[in-house]
Amino acid sequence: MKTVITRFPPSPTGYLHVGGARTALFNWLYARHMKGKFILRIEDTDRERSTRASVDAILDSLEWLGIDWDEGPHFQSERFDIYKEYVQKLLDSGNAYYCTCTSEEIEEMRKKAMASGDKPKYNGRCRNKGIDKTDNAVVRFASASAGTTVLKDSIKGNIRFQNTELDDFIIVRSDGVPTYNLAVVVDDITMGVNTVIRGDDHVNNTPRQIQIYKALGIELPVYGHVPMVLGNDRSRLSKRHGAMSVTAYRDMGYLPEALLNYLVRLGWSYGDQEFFLIDELIEKFTLDNIGRSAGIFDQEKLLSLNADHIKASPPRKLIKYWKPFLKERRINNDNNQYLEKIIETLNTRSKNLIDLTEGALFYFQDEISYEEKAARKNFKPAALEPLRILCGQIEAIKDFNEANLEDAFKKVMQSCEIKLGKIAQPVRVALTGKTVSPGIFEIIHVLGKDVVISRLKKAITFIEASAPEP
């Protein structure tokens, strides 16, 4: 059995968007599942629009997603000599020819064809003229003029194209730059690519590419065209449906595993299972389970899945994704053990890493600021005695563990004849500044004895200063 070789060939004319990321993911997963090879190729023949910044953004996105490549990145702009070699083969075999028709002449051909009810296309005027290469000449492929070209698609099934619908398309422009259909075929041939998984917007290009393969006498790859990703209004996914680039989702606090999990489910399924880890996807991914219906991108479903991945991820693993968000808030803490403890208190209540950061700020503050409403409701004179007693109880604890902490709270409750809520909420506000937070004992465990005592004493001083004079 041949080694499966797939590829992902983005154009560096912008950021990597979620549709492209899904294409990369499908190819990568299939290569990994089949223990094959995944090639990265940069299609940068569009000199005006291609930029190094876009290349870097694409590489950065793939690396963040964890989509690694076995070969590349190859750049089409560095492969012109290879394209020339294959164009010459097509010219020598009579499967391509030079054409000097002007754009005005071609436009006239199309108008005449439309007037007579035919498809507007180039009519092959230069095909048999034997024109030599000139500065203004393009190279056209001599398409089959009769019969059908069959695309055997592993996802969509067989698709037949009438060859009369295909014109003699340009494979090299007058400036010597190869067109997409020529370059992609030559690249796939020379790189040994034998499995092409891509969006179904490429279906109409495929019969032209098949004819080039046949003209060169090369075996066709396996084709699989996946349905497009649509917005929730079922129109083609665009910026109006929300953030589009992979890096935008990274900056919004999504985990790469969650985005990959969501993208793979836009067109692929494994029973009713929704939540997947990467190793599971590699184990289970096949082309057989890719559907024929378009995937509908839903931000809310992605957010929910992201929350599930935050909850399921080991805190140690989350730290590397979380630290950039802390640094944005000018928090530089390299105590990973402390960060892990914080995550353990917040991972079940955070939908994204921004939520996690906002919820964790009180852990890093030297001085706690109290929310006005929280202080007004919970820092009343009646809270003074319970807080003072609790502070003394905690100071007396030698073995600072949860059992001894619970015992300290019970003693306060018994001494002051109050229920837990009457002491827990003032303590919560004293430690966090807010009325909503992780569990009291979780917080105390993470902050440590000295910080807890310091914050309780500050709250006591605040209440004393705020209390009305007798």
165 CB-side CA count, 13 A: 9
Ramachandran category for residue 157: left, alpha or beta (phi over 0 → left; psi -120 to 50 → alpha) = left
Active site residue 239: yes
Contact between 429 and 379 (Cβ < 8 Å): yes
The pair of three-digit structure tokens given for residue 107, joined into one six-digit string: 């436009």
Q: How far is CA 394 from CA 438, 458, 467, in A?
A: 20, 15, 24
Q: Are 287 and 224 in contact (CB under 8 A)?
A: yes
389 Cβ contact partners less than 8 Å away, ≥ 6 residues apart: 411, 412, 415, 416
Q: Are 345 and 443 in contact (CB under 8 A)?
A: yes
Query: Which are the contacts of 49, defined by CB distance < 8 A and separation ≥ 6?
Result: 11, 13
**With 0-12 CB in 10 A as exposed, 13-18 as middle and 19+ as buried, what is 303?**
middle
Instruction: Tell me if residue 225 falls in helix, strand or coil.
Output: strand
Backbone angles phi, psi at 279, to 5 degrees: -60, -35
Which one of the listed residues 152, 239, 377, 410 is annotated catalytic? Answer: 239
Q: Which active-site residues does the annotation give?
A: 239
